Amino acid sequence: MKITDDSPPVLTALDRPNSYIGRSVPRPNLQRLTQGRGQYVSDVTLPRMAHVAFVRSPHAHARIKSIAADMAKKSPGVIAVVTGVELAKVMTPWVGVLTHLKGLKSAPQHPIAVDVACWQGEAVCAVVARTRAEAEDGCELVEIKYEELPAVTDPETALDAKTPVIHAALGDNLCFERKLDVGAVDKAFAESDAVVETTFMFGRHTGVTTEPRAVVADWNPSEQRMTVYQGTQAPHMMQNLFAKHLNLAEHQVRVLTKDVGGSFGIKVHTYADEMATVALSKLLKRPVKFVADRIESFVTDIHARDHRIKAKIGVSKDGTITAFEIDDLTGIGPYSVYPRTSGIEANQIVNLTGGPYTCPNYRAQAKVVFQNKNVMCQYRAVGHPIAVAVTEGLVELAAAKIGMDPLEFRRRNLIADDAYPTQSAAGLKFEKLSHHEALAHLDSMMNYAGLRAEQKALRAKGIHRGIGFASFIEVTNPSAAFYGVGGARITSQDGATVKLDAQGALIIHSGVTEQGQGAEAVLAQCVASSFGVSINKVRVVTGDTDNTPYGGGTWASRAAGIGGEAAWQAGKALRGNVLAVAGAMLQAKPDDLDIRNGIVVDKASGTERLGLDELARVAYFRPDTLPPGFQAELMATRHYVPRAWPFAFTNGIQASYLEVDTDTGFVKLLKHWCVEDCGTIINPQLVDEQIRGGVVQGIGAALFEHCRYDERGQMLNGNMADYLVPMAVEMPDIDCGHVVSPTADSELGAKGAGEAGTAGAPACVMNAINDALRPLGAQPLTDMPFTPDKILRALGKV
């Protein structure tokens, strides 16, 4: 007799009967947002609400000699004109430092400049009026006398003895410096068969969120409470900061964040004008609204990526990378941004460069200097696009130098898939990555051999196409190692509370926030699956410090991996509680029961026993019928924080296929691929769209976006016509592929996916351009963005 195994396949904890994990369910907020029923801060109107507009410094560096407000105060509708000195009595200044970035220093920053304005665009005076238009009219009437001071703009000379020091008390213009030297770098270079050395430049750019920064602050003197409606990624962090600098206790501050029109890291920082708005509400005892317009967004939303990196790679003839060396210099504006600091990007570059490869010899130094330009801080994929472009740029230059195919070169150097756990030369700890599997997947997905053949055939016809790659690693799901250990009150844990309503539906409160990326969908999927209801029975509430569990919010690709796990666990806990009630009602063992599709069933047979609506009815309205001493607990909270690993690293590889018009220097993007490994994929569509959106922002960096300044610190292209955001017509189709290596740190196993696209795209576009132009004898292009101007110059056409 043949024995057949008819037991069900071994299931992981995620394979629940009606699991939504791994399914592209539409986001619950889709209807609301597409029907124009979102609740953005820009939409908030409160009784007695006033609007503030700011007079901003036209100079990059200037002493404020006098502010004459009489005319402005008489302007129709104006309620108050407030200077930095006056507001300093309401709100204390802040200093953007973290103790674990040793030596990092910065100067106290006020909500409105006091005495000296340090960048073009810094708020110098506030005008509060009945409408924004009247506030702007008032701004035109404020007379400010400035004494222009020399502007420090070039990072290269910021530390020279003859360069003025921006903040005298700091002694010099150095914000932060880091050095790292691992292995035997000099020896390795000396023994290399080839060494490639070049300088990479990265243009300053910014996030350009669809909805600009917006805040409505409402001080209620009767309750001594401040309610702040704010488009932010981190409501609890902001609650702490508003309280701290208004000298209030945290419980006196409530931050409400409903819909947010995109953030990309722009909305996770302390902005002087938003702090000023909150302080103004306290001062004036009425609601005050500030919505940044595009002009002020360009000169006040954080910028990022302004780095100059001298870089060097050594290789042996067989294609082994022997050493990496980088020297990073970045100018971050006049203040380190509070509270995450402006040292993180450079620090990340030092950490991440060379990260995918086995090479043990690595030396890095980074200098972060002050300058009189808008502040720089963390924007989507912080440091990654730079570290990846430097690493992958060097890798392809080295491969070309020794005449090796760039994919083959990577195969010889990427950390082996069976080498985990391991760590990089810089000391990053990797739980499980899949570089080789991802590369193999990409190779076949793009039909690499076929593309090379096509490239060759077209080359003969004078059509110059290029193929470029970028392997990458991405920091996600940060533990307390990121900020907490540095003394910042930025929590890395997150919580979720799930409750059963009186008809058997669920409401989840989560500490992560929805920025338009789909966090609400992920939370609903996790809870629906672990608890056992259909997703349309789950309502998600986020963004309310009075009502959601204490949490970090959305940044560093943490919402799904951390917030999702908390939601998963909370749903599971509530299932246990509900089954306890069911057990009491049915006189069954809770362990023998399960919840499937909103119905309590026999776990073994699947036989339906009890609807959740009936269970809720009894628990809430007839608890007298339950056994004596039994108390139904129909609300459960769980928190989660990664503990085993400082970060859940993800990995992947991208490729770009493009054509360079060698007559015009124009680049036509033909196709883009990304294979990434974010562990468990909760919602494939959301992951793919995160990747695609991220790739587009990376392409922006490579080809279009650039905050251009003149030598006096004036931004030249701060508007939507002259600052080129990537637009749909120029974007290629972006194909996504996946390898799945779940993290064992959580039951869900999800890592982050929000920044991988941005991390790798600039590098592979750069490599593809250089691949296209190499046979034409062009100097490799390493100065982003790659404009027609630069390409024509590289080709010697102009």
Partner 1 sequence: MKPAPFAYKRARALEEAVAALGEHADARLLAGGQSLIATLNMRLSAPRLLIDINGIGGLDGIALKAGKLEIGALTRHAQAERSEVIARHAPLIARAIPHIGHAAIRNRGTLGGSIAFADPAAELPACLLALDGEVDATGPKGKRTIKAADFFKGLFETALGPQDVLTAIRVPAATKDTRVGFAELARRHGDYAIVGLAASARADGKSFADVRLAFFGVGATALRAKKAETALASGNVDAAVAALDLDPQDDLQATAAVKKHLAGVLLRRVAKQLMEARP
List of residues contacting partner 1 (CB under 8 A): 131-133, 136-137, 140, 293-295, 663-666, 704, 708, 716-717, 719, 721-722, 724, 726-727, 729-730, 787-789, 792, 797-798
Q: Which is nearer to partner 1, 168 or 728 (CB)?
A: 728
Q: How far is CA 186 from CA 73, 177, 189, 306, 425, in A?
A: 66, 21, 5, 28, 15
Nearer to partner 1, 105 or 672 (CB): 672
Considering the complex, what minimum distance in angstroms separates the CB of residue 330 from partner 1? Answer: 24
Residue number, 394 or 658, with CB nearest to partner 1:
658
Answer yes or no: are the C-beta atoms of 431 and 645 closer than 8 Å: yes
Q: How far is the CB of 727 from partner 1 (least distance, A)?
A: 5
Evaluate whether 431 touches 649 at the Cβ level (below 8 Å).
yes
Instruction: Give me the least distance between CB of 216 and partner 1, in Å please.
Output: 18
Nearer to partner 1, 129 or 533 (CB): 129
The least distance separating partner 1 from the CB of residue 287, rounded to whole angstroms, comes to: 19
Which tokens go with 742?
Answer: 């779940």
Query: In terms of CB distance, is 51 or 305 closer to partner 1?
Result: 51
Rounded least distance, CB 785 to partner 1, Å: 10
Q: Give the nearer residue to partner 1 in terms of CB position, either 688 or 705.
A: 705
Whether residue 301 contacts residue 207, with contact meaning beta carbons closer than 8 Å, is answered with yes
Distances (CA, A) of 7 to 4, 19, 265, 695, 726: 9, 20, 48, 44, 53
Nearer to partner 1, 405 or 663 (CB): 663
Distance CA 340, CA 337 (A): 6
Q: Which is nearer to partner 1, 239 or 714 (CB)?
A: 714
CA distances from 755 to 22, 337, 513 (A): 20, 21, 16
C-beta of 137 vs 443, nearer to partner 1: 137
CA distance 497 to 575: 13
Q: How far is the CB of 296 from partner 1 (least distance, A)?
A: 8
Q: Tell the smallest beta-carbon distance from residue 725 to partner 1 (Å).
A: 9
For residue 339, cis peptide bond before it (omega within 30 degrees of 0): yes
Shortest CB 664 distance to partner 1, Å: 6
**Least Å from the CB of residue 723 to partner 1:** 9
In angstroms, what is the minimal distance from the CB of 663 to partner 1? 5
In whole angstroms, give the CA distance from residue 491 to residue 552. 5
Order of strands across the sheet with 116-117? 116-117, 62-68, 143-148
SS (H, E, C) 361-407: CEEEEEEEECCCCCCECCCCCCCHHHHHHHHHHHHHHHHHHCCCCHH
Tell me whether residue 457 or residue 720 sits nearer to partner 1 (CB atom): 720
H or E stretch including 639? strand 635-640
Instruction: Give CA separation, 719 vs 294, 373, 701, in Å.
Output: 7, 16, 17
Sheet containing 123-129: order of strands: 78-83, 123-129, 50-56, 288-291, 214-220, 225-230, 253-256
Dihedral of alpha carbons 528, 532, 535, 540, sign: negative
